[in-house]
Amino acid sequence: MALRPIIILPDPKLRLVSAPVGHVDDALRKLLDDMVETMHDAPGIGLAGIQIAEPIRVLVVDLAKKEEPPAPQFFINPEIVWSSEERSVFEEGCLSIPEYYAEVERPARVRARFVDREGKPQEVEAEGLLATVLQHEVDHLDGVLFIDHISKLKRDRVIKKFVKAAKRASEEAPAL
């Protein structure tokens, strides 16, 4: 397994629409393992392929608490096929928008179809944190970020902050 660098705002790749996975093979499973290692290291509870610059429709999620053993879940070609009218609000963050958190309202429950790491079709009904994480991560596959669900004023402010930070970092980078 290998750690992969996580891309952050304002990297334009975060706005790409990821392509469906054709078939599940060892190379894909290796990528999923790298994603899990990268997510655990960050640490985070969900990671989409595009966040390590792989524009394919794969997600890893791990909702195990610190004192519990890791319990990674794998979602290949995930699709939200139903969402509840009932909505809930969670404070969200994103490994690609480090140290920024905001409340986001989304459907409280969803049903998702996906393919597992064995290549078998699966369906899951999710509520609570898993429902939020799945929606947040599936959004990534369509180039959507959680800040797209907050007010334009707040979104513009956070984007500006990250653009400035990226500019500063590039100016400080040593010339090679």
- Which stretches of the chain bind Zn ion, using CB under 5 A? 94
**What is the rounded CA–CA span in Å between residue 37 and residue 80?**
25
Annotation marks residue 137 as catalytic: yes
Contact 55, 49 (CB under 8 A): yes
CB of 94 to Zn ion, least distance (A): 3
CB of 127 to Zn ion, least distance (A): 20
CB of 95 to Zn ion, least distance (A): 6
Cβ proximity to Zn ion: between 34 and 139 the closer is: 139
Question: What are the respective helix, strand and coil percentages of the chain, to the nearest 5?
Answer: 35, 30, 35
**What is the rounded CA–CA span in Å between residue 76 and residue 64?**
20
In the complex, which residue's CB is closest to Zn ion? 94
Of the residues 85, 86, 92, 137, which is catalytic? 137
Cβ proximity to Zn ion: between 94 and 115 the closer is: 94
Give per-residue burial for 7-37: e unless 16+ CB within 10 Å, then b.
Answer: bbbbbeebeeebeebeebeeebeebbbbbbb
Report the catalytic residues: 137
